[in-house]
Copies of this chain bind each other. A is one copy, B any other.
Amino acid sequence: MSRTTGTDPAAGHVLWRTPEEPRRGPRRGLTLDEVARAAVEVADRDGLAGLSMQRVAAEVGLTKMALYRYVANKDELEAVMIDAAVEEPPAPDALAGTWREQAEEFARLVSDVWTRHPWLPWVTVGERVMGPREVGWVEAAVRVFEPLGLTPDERMDAVSMLFGHLRTTLATASAGTRPWTADPAGGSTMRDLVAAHAERYPALTAVMTDPGRPVVSRWDFGLRCLLDGFAAAARRREGSR
């Protein structure tokens, strides 16, 4: 982790380093991008638990130790595969309409990518170095909320909440469950458990007997609540101004 510029805290990180060809020695058989895409493929196929240096190495036809010529460790591999998987963020003029329409469209875009790579909602949490594309997605999200009269901090909070909501929804959805059963329930078992102990959980029993709406309408409800909440916050700001 050696800083080169002094201003860029992650200059030493593969994600933000411009790849400069070494002068001497044998050419490397792969690019960092190929490694990243192979890792994405492994995670898509075998899940996050099935992702190991061994498997990724086998995918590209190398020994696992050769991978360490491309990334410093597994965390860095994860970082580059995230930035490879999220693809390009929407351009500034890609989203049109009111802020609300833009937010809905943005959520749909994130949902698309995170559905294509179901492990993404699980790894885009916690302390780590983000890649340029991932930061680009956050940038795009911040842009969406600019028309609202929120303070910068509130705008960022809104972005955070939007991503959080998508994560919660999509992470559990990818687990093959209807969204709420797994939060913090997890699995259809909660429904059965409640049914087996109805006297102990009356409020839940009442909820569980509901026939249930289709997933799409649940998705709408959550997002709508969130955006309504932001709108209310914006109104508060407007009023106090």
Residues of A within 8 A of B (CB): 5, 7-10, 16, 124-130, 132, 134-139, 142-143, 146, 151-161, 163-165, 167-169, 171-172, 175-177, 179-180, 182-187, 189-190, 192-197, 200-204, 206-210, 212-213, 218, 221-222, 224-230, 232-233
Contact = CB atoms under 8 A, between A and B. Distances in A.
A9 to B, nearest CB: 4
Contact of A135 (B127, B168, B190): B190
B186 A125 contact: yes
Contact of A201 (B125, B135, B176, B208): B135
A161 B183 CA distance: 8
Given A135-B185, A161-B168, A164-B183, A127 B232 contact: no
Nearest to A190: B130
Contacts of A160: 168, 179-180, 183, 222
A152 B206 contact: yes
A34 B38 CA distance: 45
Tell me whether chain A's interface is mostly helix, strand or loop, or mixed.
Answer: helix
A224 B64 CA distance: 49
A196 B125 contact: no
A226 B224 contact: no
Which of A125, A163, A201, A210 has the largest count of B CB atoms less than 10 A from its CB?
A125
A175 B152 CA distance: 23
A127 B176 contact: yes
B224 A129 contact: no
A165 B161 contact: yes
Given A185-B138, A200-B132, A126 B171 contact: yes
Closest 10 CB pairs of A and B: A225-B229, A164-B168, A229-B229, A152-B210, A9-B192, A228-B232, A160-B180, A8-B196, A124-B184, A142-B203
Contact of A129 (B132, B146, B189, B227): B189
9 contacts: A126-B182, A129-B193, A135-B185, A135-B204, A139-B200, A142-B207, A159-B183, A161-B222, A164-B167
B127 A177 contact: yes
Contacts of A134: 184
A130 B210 CA distance: 21
